[in-house]
Every structure is written in C-alpha cells, then in structure tokens.
Structure 1
C-alpha cells in the first residue's frame, strides 16, 4: 500500500484528505492519504523518515512551505521562483519538491473561463503574502504586461515586486498601496484577491469595482465563503467571476499523479463534495 500525506501545524482543517481520498476511491488505488500534524521543531525528523521511505510523498502547508526546502535534494524551477514547496515526492532516493499553486490557479481559470488570458494588458493583485507569489509568477508567464501588486503595507509589496521582477527577468510588477485601487482599476483586465480579506464574509473598505471595464474578470482565492463580498460586488456589476475552490482542487492534481502514477480529473462531483464539507 502506498501512503501519502499532508503536513502542517495545525492541520485538522485541511480538506486534502477528503480530496485525495475521493480520487483514491474513484480509481480503486491501494493507497492512503493522511493529515499529519508536524510541529516546526519536528520537521527535520519527519524529513529524515520520509527520505527513508515512510511515504511515497505528500503535500506541505502552513507553516512548513518555506522551511521544508532546506531538506529537499532537488527543487523545481517553479518552486525556486515562488520560494516555497507544497508538494514532495521521492525519486531515486532523493526528496524532490515542487510548488503546484501556480498550476492550480491557472488551471482553475482555464477550466472556468476559457480564453481568460487573451486580454492581458493589466492585472491587479490584492495582497503581497505567500499566496500572491505563485499567482504573480503565473500571470507573468501568461504574458500580462503590467501587474499592480496592491497591499496595505507598501514596503512588503515593494520587496515582493523587486524580488520577482529580478527572478523572472521582467519589469511587469509594480507595487502600489491598496488605497490606489480606484485610480488604477479603469484599465484592469483581471483582479485577483490573494489576501485573507473575504474569509468569514469580511470585505475591503473603500474599494469600488464600478470603474472596472465591463470585460474585466474578478477572482478570489478565498473559498470560505465561496462567494466572497468581492465576488458578490463583481457579479452585481455584471462582471465575470471565478471562485477559489477550483484552485484548491487543481493544485492537487500533479502531486497525485507523482505518487500514484495516474492523473486525476477535477469534476463537478468532486467540487460539490469538497464544498459540502465546508
């Protein structure tokens, strides 16, 4: 039996066991996928056991996405650019790390809104934390010419833009204070919320979507609630919206394929199953 995992601290909230368990059952694979609470001081011991073959691989979530990189023998180019690892597997006795968040974000939009990136002059990304990094890498790769990174703390947005512009050999990323959204929004093709605003129904204060072009797309990586205040506002303006649950589902696909040798598909049945567990 092949064993996979998700590690974090805490980890009880994770939907990954339900998600991967669905695919394991659907394809009748002799495998398990478990949520393991690993405290930061125990991460080194866990990595050592993993290299000795305790599991075929697994996922990594908060607070270990950056720390686990020190224990990897090989890290994908994507994970190096993003600066975090969320997927692990063993290959020829070596612990390998990748980051599938960029893939999950792009694949969700590809599935929900075919051709969404054909208008790629300007994107606005709200937030400059860990979640923003993977999305910014993805938007640069999809050819967005100008990407404004808006954050309440401008210094954090500055540092992120400078780092990624250098890593990606671009000058597309520009930092701004979030208070400037209403000034910048009239040319935006895409708005992405990568911050925690929206969880539990919280909302951005003073942020108006009325100046966005009618062709603009608004997406949110928050999925609790599924329709955040930002998405509800966008729908009220007649804009196209994409919710965040699909990113969670799609980012899991590459890891599952690595561990079990079968590429699963993201279906409406799976989507409803995960939503029903909220």
Structure 2
C-alpha cells in the first residue's frame, strides 16, 4: 500500500489505484498524509482546504468527508493488511499509518539514509531510489494557497536531492549520467543554481568546458534578467574554476562530445 502525493494524489493498494473521492475530499486527506501520526487541528485543516472561503457549516462538511475517508481507508486496511486509522485527537484529526507508506516520507528517509552511508555506490543507489518515487508535479490535482506553498517546498526538496545525487555521480566519475538527466531539468528549472552548477561541473568533467562556459553565460543572463542580481557565490566560483581549468576531467567509456540532451532551444549551446 502507498499514499502518493509526489504527483497526482493517489492511494495504491495491492497494485491498484483506489478512488479516494472528489477534489475536496482528497484535499482533506493530504494535510493528514503530510503530518502523518501528528494531529492536524480542525481550524488548521479548514484553513488549508478552504483558505478564506469555507462553506457554511464547514465542520459538518468536514465531518462528512472524514467519514467517507474512514470507509475508504478501512477497506484499504482489509485488503492490504497494513494498519490504517483516521481518528479524532487533540481537537483535530490524525492519520495513523506507517510513515514509510507515504511516498514523501519514504523519499525523505531514503535521502537521510544516503547521507549516512560511506560507500558512494550505495549512496547513489539510495538517491536514485528516492528520486524514482516522483511521478510528476506534486499534488498535481489540488489547488489553493496552502497546497501551492507545500508544492513549492516539495519541489525544492527534489532539486536538493537531484543536486546531491549529481555530486555522488560526479565523484564516481560518471558525468555523462548527470548531463543526460540535468539537460532536461535545467530547461524546466532555469533559475535553479545548484542544478546549473552541477551541470557545469559535469560538462567540464566530461571534457566539454566550452559548453559549460556557454551554458553559464545563458544561465547568468536569465538569472540577471529575472531577479536583477548576479548568480550566487557558489555558482560563480564553479564558473571561475572552469575558466582556470581546475575541474578534473573524468572520461569513462563511451564519452561523447555532443550537446547535452534536453537543454532545449533556450539553452542551446550552438553558436
């Protein structure tokens, strides 16, 4: 069984996605998933789901959704054999389920574990396992200010994890793996400096410093145009290291010299 929020909100039981109701009903469940095994106060739950426009008799509406969710979760418990309980507690509601059954919490656990291991191959394996849990835009089907803030926070966690994974792959001498993945990511996240920095290092490590310098010029221009300031010090230091030819070249078997896949027209490295 798995509660999924790293993409559209879903509940998977025994390989089948189980319907968890209409949009507002799913919206009630998500804060309880995120704060699993911690009570979410009634007022906080109402504010997260309805923002400043709760319906009249909102507590009755909320109680109806909770009652329906309980029935769904009880059926999931019977099918999966996993303990699930949605109960009233401390002036709110609490979802009691093993945190590892929530994709977001498993992602965080795997990343935390990867930071504790000393073997780089094992670290890379754990990081890839964590990143494989992503299915698209987090909470893709939910709307509202609170869900938007949560979505942004989760996306930042993914970018941080991607940057950590890239650092591991580069230490293992596999820059092409990073180039293949990050060409697409940089196009989607053109202002994510840690991602740009790792792609610069990967290109330079693969023996393609001129492409790295061209990418930096494009990224710098876009950042300056967007925020009116230069890139941060870490990205600038990496750029300077490439200029001084201080990045070691790793050439695993199969190194090629083509343009990184996925950079897209906006990040084209051709003249």
TM-score range, shorter chain: under 0.3
TM-score by length of 2: 0.27
More strand by share: 1
More helix by share: 2
Q: Specify the structure having the higher radius of gyration (Cα).
A: 2
